[in-house]
Structure 1
Amino acid sequence: MIFTQTALAGATIIDLERREDERGFFARTFCRKEFADAGLDPMVEQCNLSYNYKAGTLRGMHYQVAPAEEAKLVRCTSGAILDVIVDMRPDSPTHLQHIAVELTQQNRRALLVPPMFAHGYLTLTDDAEVVYQVSETYTPGTERGLRYDDPALGIDWPVEVAVISAKDAAWPLLSEQGISA
């Protein structure tokens, strides 16, 4: 695996190190030791699969707070998504900054989302499938969220949001949560 640190401390892009021959290729997608050697927490508590029928489907922006903060390793296994994360760590020098990474079936790239980062994605194709390895179980009462279109975040979504859950559309703006940008 090839680990590339992003501008947001702890957020890491993970590319495959492919071993190719006439059959195709083989690549490791997760290795506890390699993650630890790269200074990343390799804990996986559960794995999730999300299938999305239509391009323009937005899921997010979600995160969990103590005592159930979670890291996620996100990979698009079919289609394409724009994966966006926002640093919600109050004492971080990059607090409320975000990055966007295109994850596709073709690039086979993954994004490691550290604890206390809001995470969401927009599908760029129909039939997009996303697999998450998560460090903590879903814990009702600890989930928080951000509005995907909050002007204080300034996230530039490349296609119009066509499908979104009522819950995700109703997250309050940062200003309504008492969080200042």
Structure 2
Amino acid sequence: MSTAGILSRNCVDVFDSLAGDTLDISLTRQLADMYKTLADEDGAVKVIRKPVQQQHTGKENCGPFEIAFAATVCSGLDPSACAFFECALHQHICEGFETGTIRLFPQGLPSMKRAKEMKTYVSIHCNCYEHMSGSEMVQCNGHQRWYHFNCINCHGKARDKILQQESPLQFQPLTLS
């Protein structure tokens, strides 16, 4: 689950109950597309991946965790400080459907061991969605998108030719794989 400007100002908070310490490419693309209005002048969105109390390895509880995180944020609390009873998630959601209400999910005691927040920048440009500070980019006239020279495999004479143009940060549309 992600929120923008609710718990942290001018950035995106990501709560992910799957084990791992990196953002996968599909999540990175979603964040870049969803939160492009928060991009800074370099086309980067600040993302804070907040560690949650418990991790699970399977994907069967991703949805219930997302609902628990959303209910917690709507209650004005930080989901990263909560330790939900994973075995009670499904039943709690079913009870919510039956009663027509969503209330806070059952929780245990938070663990004392907490992972550190991971702060990163996601590019709203380029097909790699990675923000490389100070990396030269070129704009495609056809797509109106920006790309890193390395990501479009533009090196040597081709790169030099683009940089020598009067409007050096533009090139004709290319088909990218």
* TM-score class normalised by the smaller sequence: under 0.3
Structure with the higher strand share, 1 or 2: 1
Query: Which protein is bigger by CA-based radius of gyration?
Result: 2
Q: TM-score, normalization: structure 1?
A: 0.23
Structure with the higher helix share, 1 or 2: 2
